[in-house]
């Protein structure tokens, strides 16, 4: 292939990547409010003024569009919640930061419908298929992330050795998801403060030294 041919191919690839990013930025927002079933190749093409054939060439089917949307939402979630918390050294401080960033992620409406995964998991929890399985993996990955942070806090001495890590992870996630649900449904920002208070109390109850656990903002 000549240099000019390679340049044209590279240009097409880059335009395709830009279109893909544009589409997925829109689909994650739609799905967070209306659900994954609201997505269609035709709707996205119309809203973004793209050719339906071009969108089809990128994704191939509604299911692939849904799966790509879940993956895109996961990357946004990692950037907003998990990666910032990793800046804190392993221990109870990282657990606190993980919860604080999650609450901020929901409250700031990074997705207009609140937590993307809270909404779409409820939509697909009793179904079968590739979309359901992708959401199961995402949910398990998040639970594993919380459990890992808690286990590190036990190992570093911030949490008591007898801490039941899976149980505590379940409780912290319940606080987070309840805050998201109440805040979105009732337009009630105070739900985030209540969750922050509850998480602070729960971590202090499990801490080796409760004084080491600063209140969540």
Per-residue pLDDT at 99: 98
Regarding the domain delimited by 3-212, which CATH topology (the fold level of the hierarchy) does it fall under?
Tetracycline Repressor; domain 2 (1.10.357)
DSSP secondary structure string for all residues of 135-200 = HHHHHHHHHHHHHHHHHHHHHTTSB-TT--HHHHHHHHHHHHHHHHHHHHHHT-THHHHHHHHHHH
With contact defined as beta carbons under 8 Å apart, do 103 and 216 qualify? yes
For the chain (217 residues), the mean pLDDT of every run of 10, in chain order, is: 57 76 96 97 94 91 97 98 98 97 98 96 96 98 98 98 98 98 96 98 98 93
Question: Domain segments of the chain: what residues?
Answer: 3-212
With contact defined as beta carbons under 8 Å apart, do 151 and 165 qualify? yes
Per-residue pLDDT at 15: 76
b/e map of 97-129 (b: 16 or more CB within 10 Å)? bbbbbbbebbbeebbebbbbbbbbbebbeeeee
The pair of three-digit structure tokens given for residue 168, joined into one six-digit string: 């505590």
1-45 pLDDT tens trace: 555 665 555 666 667 688 999 999 999 999 999 999 999 999 999
pTM of the shown model: 0.91
Per-residue pLDDT at 11: 62
E-state strands within 17-162 = none
The pair of three-digit structure tokens given for residue 173, joined into one six-digit string: 């996630």
For 43, the 3-state DSSP assignment is helix
């Amino acid at each position: 292939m000549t240099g000019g041919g390679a340049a044209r191919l590279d240009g097409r690839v880059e335009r395709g990547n830009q279109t893909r990013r544009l589409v997925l930025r829109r689909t994650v927002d739609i799905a967070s409010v209306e659900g994954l079933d609201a997505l269609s190749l035709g709707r996205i093409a119309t809203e973004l003024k793209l050719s339906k054939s071009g969108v089809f060439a990128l994704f191939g089917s509604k299911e692939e569009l849904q799966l790509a949307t879940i993956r895109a939402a996961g990357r946004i979630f990692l950037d907003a919640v998990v990666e910032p918390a990793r800046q804190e050294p392993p221990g109870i401080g990282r657990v606190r930061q993980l919860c604080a960033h999650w609450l901020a992620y929901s409250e700031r409406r990074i997705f207009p419908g609140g937590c993307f995964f809270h909404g779409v998991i409820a939509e697909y929890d009793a179904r079968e298929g590739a979309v359901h399985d992708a959401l199961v993996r995402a949910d398990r990955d998040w639970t594993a992330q919380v459990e890992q942070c808690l286990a590190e806090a036990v190992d570093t001495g911030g949490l008591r050795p007898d801490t039941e890590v899976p149980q505590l992870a379940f409780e912290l996630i319940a606080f987070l998801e309840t805050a998201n649900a109440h805040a979105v449904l009732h337009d009630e920002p105070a739900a985030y403060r209540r969750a922050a208070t509850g998480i602070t109390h729960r971590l202090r109850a499990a801490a080796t030294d409760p004084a080491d656990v600063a209140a969540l903002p």
